[in-house]
């Protein structure tokens, strides 16, 4: 069975960037910025592989901080290959690069992107 992409990718993004990462945003997020959210949007499965489409959102206190973190994360994701948290990443494709997205709290600056990540069980 192929591991859940959120359980694979969120800990990896946190260890790579040093920024809290999870599938859900924390309560009172504006007090704990920056934050990275990783959520599966869809994708497709094969017998021994999974190809999830993943939304990656970066939340920060300033637009510049969000942009810098998004750039760092894009670079790291596009080079991600090999064993990661119980899975083997075979390929990462950026479907829509990071762009500014609205958020209900004006103290939070959000940038989001979508990636398709091909993986199999380790």
pLDDT single digits (tens) 10-58: 999 999 999 999 999 999 999 999 999 999 999 998 888 999 999 999 9
| Residue 2, pLDDT score | 85
Residue 1's pLDDT band (cuts 50, 70, 90): confident
Structural domain for 115, as ranges? 5-121
Peptide bond connecting 34 to the previous residue in cis, omega within 30 degrees of 0: yes
CATH number, position 39: 3.30.2000.30
Calculate the CA 100 to chain-centre distance: 15
Cα 35 to Cα 40: distance, rounded to the nearest angstrom: 17
Cα 70 to Cα 58: distance, rounded to the nearest angstrom: 6
The domain total for the chain is: 1
pLDDT single digits (tens) 61-110: 999 999 999 999 999 999 999 999 999 999 999 999 999 999 999 999 99
Q: How far is CA 2 from CA 23, 41, 68, 87, in A?
A: 18, 16, 32, 7
* pTM over the 0.85 mark: yes
């Amino acid at each position: 069975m192929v591991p859940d992409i959120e359980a694979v990718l969120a800990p990896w993004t946190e260890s790579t960037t040093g920024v809290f990462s999870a599938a859900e945003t924390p309560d009172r997020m504006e007090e704990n910025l920056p934050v990275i959210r990783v959520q599966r949007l869809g994708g497709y499965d094969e017998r021994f592989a999974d190809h999830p489409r993943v939304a990656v959102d970066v939340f920060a206190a300033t637009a510049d901080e969000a942009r810098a973190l998004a750039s760092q994360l894009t670079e790291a994701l596009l080079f991600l290959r090999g064993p990661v948290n119980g899975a083997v990443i075979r390929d990462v494709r950026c479907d829509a690069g990071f762009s500014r997205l609205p958020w209900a709290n004006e103290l939070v600056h959000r940038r989001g992107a979508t990636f398709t990540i091909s993986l199999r069980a380790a």
